[in-house]
Structure 1
Amino acid sequence: MFTGIDEVDWASLHHAYGSAEDVPGWLRALASADTVERATALDGMYGALHHHGNVYDSTLACVPFLLSIVACEELPDRAGIVELLVGIGAESAHGDPRAREAVCAGAEAFVRLAGDPDAAVRRASAGALVHFLAAPERVLGLLRQRLRAERDGRVLRALTEALGLFVRRYPAHADAAVDLLAEQSAPPYAPELRLAALGQLALVAPARLPADLVPTAVRLLRERSAQRTRVREPCAADTLVGRLRRLRPSDEEGSRLLGTLHTALGDRVADRSALLGGQLTSPDPVDRCNAVWLAAALLRGWRGDHTATVELLGAQLSAEQDRLRDAAVTVLSELCTLAAPAADDLHTLVWARPDLWTHRFERGSPTLGGPLKALARSGDPRAVPALAQLLAGPATPADLGFELAHLGAAAAPLAPALRHRLGRIPLSSPSAARLAAPLLAAVGAVGDAEAVPQVLRLLSGAPDGLGARDAIAAQVIATLETLGATAQAAPVLRALLYTRHAAAAAGALRSAHEDVSVVLPVLLRELTEGDPASRRLAAEQLGRLGPAARAALPALRRMACSWPAQERVAAACALWRVDADPEPVLPAFRTAWAEDPHSRRPIAHCLTEMGPSAAPLRPLVAAELAAPRRHLAHAAGFGGRRAVPEDEELLRACREVLATG
């Protein structure tokens, strides 16, 4: 098994963390009788030899020894080694041809492993047949043979996935493989295998799907659930790790089966919503829990009328299973106003379970509990009484102000309590900025002009040299501007005109009706000499000055041709508001719209202001409204917390643009 291992000059080879001298020890440990030693060695090899999908010279040197190890039937836990080999040869970052060649040189091993006594090894080897054997006719023959001989359900599903991979890899030989998939998708095959085959057909041959796909999939799911052995939900500790475990699917096979089908359906939002309707009304809470996470993927990534899906998510809040309830709450809390159809269920849960108003992780500070957070983010004023109780209590969650801000004017009754807490922040504390940030967000959202003294205290009262003033200055200034920055704020704001917060301070002074001759030179300076953030903010503030900022037009025109897109858009918006000339504005908007999806919201808002002058770009706006996918979610790495509400705001702005035409 290890013949020649000592003849390799491992010290001259490298892996992700340096010298590969430790690799021979890992290889030998993979054949150890000790379970922990085997697992530790495999972890080490994944982390060092296949780090982030990369391969190294030591990785290539290991392949022959890994193939020898997996060939020994008496050794346990070989499936993980097969998966490592598949990862090295088929999934390596940058498609390193050396890695593939190294594994392909031992491809015959996977033919034997496909019939191994260990079902886990057979399962891991199914895809390897497609990845590494050179003759497609032989590969298809082996897959057909294994499908006829196999009795283990999980291995059969892996073979089905391998057929889908075969179709994608060898399209010229696809017909026979598709016929096999179609055969497996029909009786008398078991529900799990039929679901797996439907998912692969949807991926590679959607024309072969049955016309009644959704009802068929729902029926098969329920048949599978009725046959599945019930596993009692584990009692996870109330720690971060325990909560994360509760949020993982307890039936990962079921989640994968339906997840493949949802992925394959892609932009067919109506079909996916109908499928979720069947899943979320399943008698089996495990199926419903899987459906909650699949609903999350749809809501985060695709547009459409999701009212029915959100209502069904709300219906899960009355479930007895903590895992299901927590999953639904987590998804609803990401949706903000899109969660409104579930607001009644959230309200019921909030008042039925006051113990869920806050959550405290082990050794952590209290945070706002999921149900109350989701209700507040939906904009429902029924969250206010519960928030008021927490705000009056001794242990107010630190993040309460951020969530209360979603309620806007509906939270006005809480303004006195917010002012009181803002005024009690110890300015000499290192945590002053952290404590003030959520309260400032809430005060600004409520529009409490009476809070100006407490807001100003954060600047005028903060001691020099501790960094407290600088850490919170930007948000204080923004809050003062939102509140109208009354005359009593002007002296403090003028003192900031020669700091890194100059652009923000000038904008706040403008809102306090300061003479343009005071703020315009500051904004011009920041527009040409400031850092990128200051330049964008200065452009925005110049736009608010309107025609009074005509002296900035040359600099704004230069900036409207610059990079990146966010600076270009800020300058173009200012150009329109200062000069009302669409000629330099529309080209800047057109290129930025294509380059950066995050620029589309400010562009759409400005196009609304432009009225008929925006006509040349209305086709872009119409195409945006017709697009089924949330571009912002994908640009943010699919599913950032703000992705859904920001995309919904973009859609509202686009509709306003077309309405003004």
Structure 2
Amino acid sequence: MLEGLDEIDWTALEHAYGDAGDVPQLLHGVASDDPDTFAEAHFELCSSIFHQGTVYSASAPAVRFLIGLALRPGGRDRHRLLGLVGAMADPDLAYGDSALAVKTAVAAEAGRVMPLLDDADVRVRETAAYLLGQCGAAAAEILPVLHRRADVESEPLVRASLLAAAARLDPLGAANRVDLCLHDREPAVQAAAVFAHLRSGRPVTAAVPEAIISAWRDGTPLTGSVWPRHTLDKAVDALEMPHAAHVLAALADSSRRDVRHYVAHTVSHLNRCRRSALPALLPLLEPLLGDPDEDVRRAAASAAAEAGAAAAPLADSLAAATRFADPASAYVTGADHALKALLLIGDPRWREPVLAAWAAGHRSYTATDTMAHLALDGHPIPMDDELLDAVRVRLTVAVAVASGLGSVRVTDIAVHNEPVHLTHILRGWGAAAQRAVPELVSALGRAPHTAGAALAAMGEAAMPALPALRAIPVPACAQAVWQLTGDAAPLVEIMSALLDRPYRNSHEFRHLLALGPAALPLLPKLTALLANPPDSNVGSIARHQTLLAAATVVWRLTGDAEAVLPTLREALTFDGWIAGSAAALARELGEAAAPLLPQLREALGLRQARVRAAEVLWQLGTDAEQLVEPVLEALRDGWGPGTDAVDLLVRMRAVSAAATLRELAERDRRLIASGSADEIITGDEALRARLRQGVAQLSAEVV
């Protein structure tokens, strides 16, 4: 079972938290019959040797001991141990420098695992089959055993796992069995056959979408230990869009609420992954927006809101969905998402429910948050007297409620955020909202940063707020004083005090950049900071952000490249985001950035910094053709500012990139595939438009 455990020098191996000297203790814990001891040790072991998908040098040596524990008759949760070992060898789940060693170690144990296919425990049989499916090196010995067991197995989930394992080890050899199982009477087996067929790469036949409909009609068919949580979206995502739409339309009529919920979730998933999904799948949301079940309505309305302006054809259904609003609910409801969608498409029918909720003393958190983000993006909703007065009244209430709670708790985050959102809305309206100056002054104690910025945006109308702004010693209020009066002394004084602190908040240093020449009195301290950077938070993002803000001000005040080059040199090799910020400042240096050439070339390998680094290298004389591929790679992997990448290629006249830009613009898979769900679709559509424009511009260069 654990024989030989002490013969391994575990301290010479590593896991997620450092040296693996604690692995023997954890394995002994997993061997315990005490349920609490087992649960704690199992959790710690999984977190250590298989941390968020990464395997380590300690992972492979642990395999044989985990298999030994799984072989114990009557051992606790043996299926969980088999599932862990199988997952560590699963190429869809595991990665890292030790992945091959783990896979080799697991395959070496196949002979000990195969007898478990006849175990009395259904869960053990299921996970044993899953594990064996990862043992490609032993496929010749495993496949006959899998087929023999499949011929006598009666449990649907075990049959599904056996089929999946055989198809993974021998996709073509299992093809006939897979095709037969597409018509199986058991939904789990049908679902496993669907995934096996799709994984094989064979052409998708008409039987596959029909099998999906049959398998998922009565709920999720794959509920065992070895299947991912969401399976419908993965199955449908592999289909051509007409087939996907057919499957989802059929399932949307299900009498089961969970199936209709899966459909709404899958529409959301496909819309965020594939460009062809929006026109094909958005109509499916219409009946789901009026579904009798709140979970279904919430998922459908959320999917509509994610679509942004493209959801306009659903406006009537979205407006009707607001009738389910529950202003007193502590949770985000389907009606909340419907209000958000109406705001994003510019339909005024959001207005009555939101104003009614405010008038009744309730928050409309999602709508208020959406209005705030629209204002921050430079697209504030139109203001009128009724709406302005409603925001003023609600801000007064929100400040009072938030002030009464005292310190911020996670459960109260919506309460504390509401004054911030309302002040953002007022800021977006600027001087037109000057009647709200008294409410903004009252909000300074609760939301000084955003209320101060809102007052500054109102210009001369905010002059009565000056005493209150001067009384609050935070950078945002002092910046408002400077913007309203031209008196930079309060902001300079606050920033000077911040520079004297051992710990510096990097976010506060953005106010330095706003000062411009008025920051001159701070120059000695800023120069000293760059010459002798603090040791505290060494290597941290906040440290680099602070130093880059200081370097930017020093450069703009003095034009002294030598004072800022060390800071830039270090930041360019830290990580992608910091390197990107450093490259942006290096761009300002012009030819004075030449000493940074080695670091800038290295930054081309950092996905978030590629575009900015390439731009500086081009400005310094690097041949544009040498930079085309790194910039295109930044577009392909969906990281960084994609429109900036296209802009740079056009400015470099990189005609050779036109064909790739056209392919990226016209492909079905979205380029932007991560980030906020609310921004993926709209961001990718904007990028697609810029790609098409870039192709036209570069094509014109050829003529």
Q: TM-score, normalised by structure 1?
A: 0.70
Deviations 1:75-110 (A, max 9, x none): 453211211232345546433555445444432221
Paired with 1:393 and 1:320, the residues of 2 have a C-alpha distance of 25
1:148 to 147, 151, 170: 151
1:406 to 374, 377, 380: 374
Deviations 1:138-196 (A, max 9, x none): 322122212211111101111121123213xxxxxx4322232223224x554442332
2:662 to 622, 642, 659: 622
> What's 1:128 paired with?
131
Contact 1:357 1:371 in 2 (8 A): no
Q: CA deviation at 1:111?
A: 1.2
Q: Are the structure 2 counterparts of residues 448 and 621 from structure 1 closer, same or farther at C-alpha, using a change threshold of 3 Å?
A: farther
- Larger relative contact order, structure 1 or 2 (CA cutoff 8 Å, min sep 6): 1
Deviations 1:301-354 (A, max 9, x none): 22125134223224222222233223323333333223333332222121x123
> What's 1:81 paired with?
81
> What's 1:159 paired with?
162
Does residue 651 of the first structure (1) align with residue 657 of the second (2)? Answer: no
Does residue 261 of the first structure (1) align with residue 235 of the second (2)? Answer: yes
1:201 to 193, 197, 212: 197
Paired with 1:377 and 1:249, the residues of 2 have a C-alpha distance of 37
Deviations 1:41-64 (A, max 9, x none): 433432344444556777666544
> What's 1:210 paired with?
205
> What's 1:182 paired with?
179
SS at match of 1:501: helix
Bigger Cα displacement from structure 2, 79-88 vs 551-560: 551-560
Contact 1:601 1:653 in 2 (8 A): yes
Does residue 594 of the first structure (1) align with residue 633 of the second (2)? Answer: yes
Deviations 1:239-278 (A, max 9, x none): xxxxxxxxx999997975534423544xx34433333333
Q: Are the structure 2 counterparts of residues 584 and 468 from structure 1 closer, same or farther at C-alpha, using a change threshold of 3 Å?
A: farther
Q: Structure 2 matches for 1:11-30, cutoff 5 A?
A: 16=17, 19-20=22-23, 22-23=25-26, 25-29=28-32
Deviations 1:13-44 (A, max 9, x none): 88647534633541431xx2x54554344334
Q: Structure 2 matches for 1:389-468, cutoff 5 A?
A: 389-391=356-358, 394=361, 396=363, 401-404=368-371, 405-406=373-374, 408=379, 410-413=381-384, 414-418=387-391, 437-443=420-426, 445-446=428-429, 449-451=432-434, 453=455, 455=457, 468=474
Aligned AA for 1:600? G
Paired with 1:570 and 1:4, the residues of 2 have a C-alpha distance of 54
2:111 to 102, 108, 113: 108
Contact 2:182 2:211 in 1 (8 A): no
> What's 2:441 paired with?
none
The alignment of Structure 1 onto Structure 2 pairs a total of residues equal to: 588
Aligned AA for 1:160? L
Paired with 1:558 and 1:416, the residues of 2 have a C-alpha distance of 57
> What's 2:338 paired with?
371
Q: Are the structure 2 counterparts of residues 252 and 536 from structure 1 closer, same or farther at C-alpha, using a change threshold of 3 Å?
A: closer
Contact 2:321 2:338 in 1 (8 A): yes
Paired with 1:375 and 1:14, the residues of 2 have a C-alpha distance of 52
SS at match of 1:355: coil
2:347 to 366, 375, 380: 380
Aligned AA for 2:160? R
Contact 1:357 1:369 in 2 (8 A): no
Q: CA RMSD in A?
A: 5.5
Paired with 2:3 and 2:613, the residues of 1 have a C-alpha distance of 68
Paired with 1:326 and 1:204, the residues of 2 have a C-alpha distance of 36
Contact 1:360 1:367 in 2 (8 A): no
> What's 2:301 paired with?
329
Paired with 2:26 and 2:582, the residues of 1 have a C-alpha distance of 56
SS at match of 1:175: coil
Contact 2:23 2:45 in 1 (8 A): no
Paired with 2:327 and 2:617, the residues of 1 have a C-alpha distance of 50
Q: Are the structure 2 counterparts of residues 535 and 444 from structure 1 closer, same or farther at C-alpha, using a change threshold of 3 Å?
A: farther
Q: Identity over aligned residues, as a percent? A: 20
Contact 1:182 1:197 in 2 (8 A): yes
Q: Are the structure 2 counterparts of residues 461 and 641 from structure 1 closer, same or farther at C-alpha, using a change threshold of 3 Å?
A: farther
Paired with 2:254 and 2:363, the residues of 1 have a C-alpha distance of 39
Contact 2:63 2:105 in 1 (8 A): yes
Aligned AA for 2:643? R
Deviations 1:120-143 (A, max 9, x none): 111001132233474433322122
Paired with 1:58 and 1:618, the residues of 2 have a C-alpha distance of 47
Q: Are the structure 2 counterparts of residues 422 and 592 from structure 1 closer, same or farther at C-alpha, using a change threshold of 3 Å?
A: farther
Aligned AA for 1:194? Q
Q: Are the structure 2 counterparts of residues 385 and 85 from structure 1 closer, same or farther at C-alpha, using a change threshold of 3 Å?
A: same
Q: Are the structure 2 counterparts of residues 148 and 373 from structure 1 closer, same or farther at C-alpha, using a change threshold of 3 Å?
A: same
> What's 2:263 paired with?
291
Deviations 1:603-646 (A, max 9, x none): 557899x8x97977654543332122222224x4xx64422221
Paired with 1:21 and 1:607, the residues of 2 have a C-alpha distance of 55
Paired with 1:62 and 1:522, the residues of 2 have a C-alpha distance of 54
> What's 1:46 paired with?
46
Paired with 1:584 and 1:43, the residues of 2 have a C-alpha distance of 53
Contact 1:314 1:343 in 2 (8 A): no
Paired with 2:31 and 2:392, the residues of 1 have a C-alpha distance of 66
Paired with 2:233 and 2:138, the residues of 1 have a C-alpha distance of 31
Paired with 1:68 and 1:181, the residues of 2 have a C-alpha distance of 32
Q: Are the structure 2 counterparts of residues 300 and 558 from structure 1 closer, same or farther at C-alpha, using a change threshold of 3 Å?
A: farther
Deviations 1:543-579 (A, max 9, x none): 9xxxxxxx98767999999576878867999999xx9
> What's 1:236 paired with?
none
Paired with 2:54 and 2:60, the residues of 1 have a C-alpha distance of 11
Q: Are the structure 2 counterparts of residues 288 and 489 from structure 1 closer, same or farther at C-alpha, using a change threshold of 3 Å?
A: farther
In the alignment, structure 1 segments of 5+ residues that lack a partner are 168-173, 229-247, 509-519, 544-550
Aligned AA for 1:43? F
SS at match of 2:173: helix
Bigger Cα displacement from structure 2, 251-260 vs 120-129: 251-260
Aligned AA for 1:149? V
Paired with 1:61 and 1:259, the residues of 2 have a C-alpha distance of 36
SS at match of 1:319: coil
Aligned AA for 1:388? L
Contact 1:557 1:584 in 2 (8 A): no
Q: Are the structure 2 counterparts of residues 195 and 2 from structure 1 closer, same or farther at C-alpha, using a change threshold of 3 Å?
A: closer
Contact 1:625 1:651 in 2 (8 A): yes
Paired with 1:556 and 1:435, the residues of 2 have a C-alpha distance of 44
Q: Are the structure 2 counterparts of residues 210 and 444 from structure 1 closer, same or farther at C-alpha, using a change threshold of 3 Å?
A: same
Bigger Cα displacement from structure 2, 85-94 vs 493-502: 493-502
SS at match of 2:326: helix
Contact 1:110 1:125 in 2 (8 A): yes
> What's 1:244 paired with?
none
Contact 1:185 1:194 in 2 (8 A): yes
Paired with 2:681 and 2:466, the residues of 1 have a C-alpha distance of 38
Paired with 2:255 and 2:228, the residues of 1 have a C-alpha distance of 15
Contact 2:470 2:478 in 1 (8 A): no
Paired with 1:537 and 1:6, the residues of 2 have a C-alpha distance of 49
Paired with 2:269 and 2:490, the residues of 1 have a C-alpha distance of 48
